[in-house]
Amino acid sequence: MRRFGVCLIRKETEPAGCISMTEISFLATPIGKIGVAAEEEFITKVFFKIADLPEQWQRGDQNPLLREAQAQMDAYFAGKLREFDLPLYAEMSDFSKAVLEATLEIPYGQVTTYGDMARRLGNPHAARAVGSALNRNPFPILIPCHRVVGSAGSLTGYAGGLESKKFLLEMEKQFMQKEPERLL
């Protein structure tokens, strides 16, 4: 059972003061440094390109939510966590939200294609739109868009680069051999 989802709050309905300051933490991972941003009680972004940070973002290394994100990422990369349990916030279209929610249903260690995702969403001709939505996934790794591949099983675009996508897929397959009782 999934313990988190994508919280879709549109600006026009957002309560006053709901989001105030963005804090960021940098996580060392086997695929390089990853940034995780949080606002209030939500993770708002996971990113690979550290150089493109807004100046107004502040270091949040003591933020309990960012520390929990670090702990869960560490467990994931150690093969002890297969689903993340973090509150996420993002503004996006209903279609993008549906794509990301469908992506959460891809089992750990398995892959699906953009076309299969489009069919699962009820629009078999929307493979490119699915790819476009996944390209804008604000939560790579947390929402495992790396598990979506091209129609012939080829590795296609990933924000962290194709080498990172390949690493994540191979890592998950390797850890599928682990005993279930060792998982968190």
Q: What angle is formed at CA 98 by the lines to CA 158 and CA 41, rounded to 5 degrees?
A: 80
How far is the C-alpha of 107 from the C-alpha of 146, rounded, in Å?
Answer: 12
Q: What is the distance between the alpha carbons of residues 147 and 130, in angstroms, rounded to a whole number?
A: 13
Q: Are 146 and 158 in contact (CB under 8 A)?
A: yes
Pairing of strands 58-59, 22-29: parallel
Catalytic site residue from 43, 46, 145, 148 = 145
- Asked about 7 being catalytic, the answer comes back as no
Q: Is the dihedral of CA 145, 150, 151, 154 positive or negative?
A: negative
Query: Which amino acids are annotated catalytic?
Result: 145
